[in-house]
A and B are shown apart, each in its own frame.
Chain A
């Protein structure tokens, strides 16, 4: 079956512009996660959604970052007034549940470059 998909695969934007990154989770997965993968920094948790519960936004690095999940499925990560330090690969993952027994399935990522 189809895995997690993300779009665009690559995004180049100018400093100060806003960007939107999209994630389509695996159908039926109630939990959705966003991570940022920077060179030498590993994977940094940003935000997760679980069903209809309020999202855990504790990993968002600044108020320029926001995310929403519509209808419990597709999610959009928005970065406003992008800065060069926002350049990274943004990964989305989904799982059947938020519990630790459930494996997270990752998308291919969106490589964001801020010039």
Chain B
């Protein structure tokens, strides 16, 4: 069965500190992975997808098939990064989300 696991419900860091939001997946095929973000009082929106190999707002995520992980990283967190982050997997034509990690960046 396809599954996405985000082990941390809350991650609290200080501004300027590095950030890593963990995501592990379970999927028998070749996965398509995404990170979605929801800022306070805003809609859920796509942050980045692994096939694009892009960096958005300083965030990157590398797919590690050996560890079945897709961790989201940023070297220097900013206060405006505070939000709810969801890792998601497209498998069998469905988008499966993890339970989300709330990132809180303090000044």
1/0 contact string of B78-107 vs chain A (CB within 8 Å)? 000000001000100111111110000000
How far apart are B55's CB and chain A's nearest CB, in angstroms? 17
> Residues of B at under 8 Å CB distance from A?
6, 9, 32, 43-46, 49, 51, 86, 90, 93-100
Nearest-CB residue, chain B, relative to A45: B94
Whether A43 is near chain B, meaning CB under 8 Å from some CB there, is yes
> Residues of A at under 8 Å CB distance from B?
3, 33, 35, 40-45, 48, 56, 59, 91, 93, 98, 100-101, 103-109
A-B contacts counted at CB < 8 A amount to 43
Most B CB contacts (10 A, CB to CB) among A41, A42, A104, A109 go to A42
A10 to B32, CA, bound (A): 33
Q: Which 9 A-B pairs have the closest CB atoms?
A: A42-B99, A100-B90, A43-B97, A100-B32, A106-B44, A103-B46, A42-B97, A106-B43, A42-B100
How far apart are A106's CB and chain B's nearest CB, in angstroms? 4
- Chain B residues closer than 8 Å to A33, beta-carbon distance: 95
A45 to B32, CA, bound (A): 17
Contact between A45 and B96 (Cβ–Cβ < 8 Å)? yes
Nearest-CB residue, chain A, relative to B91: A100
- Chain A residues closer than 8 Å to B32, beta-carbon distance: 100
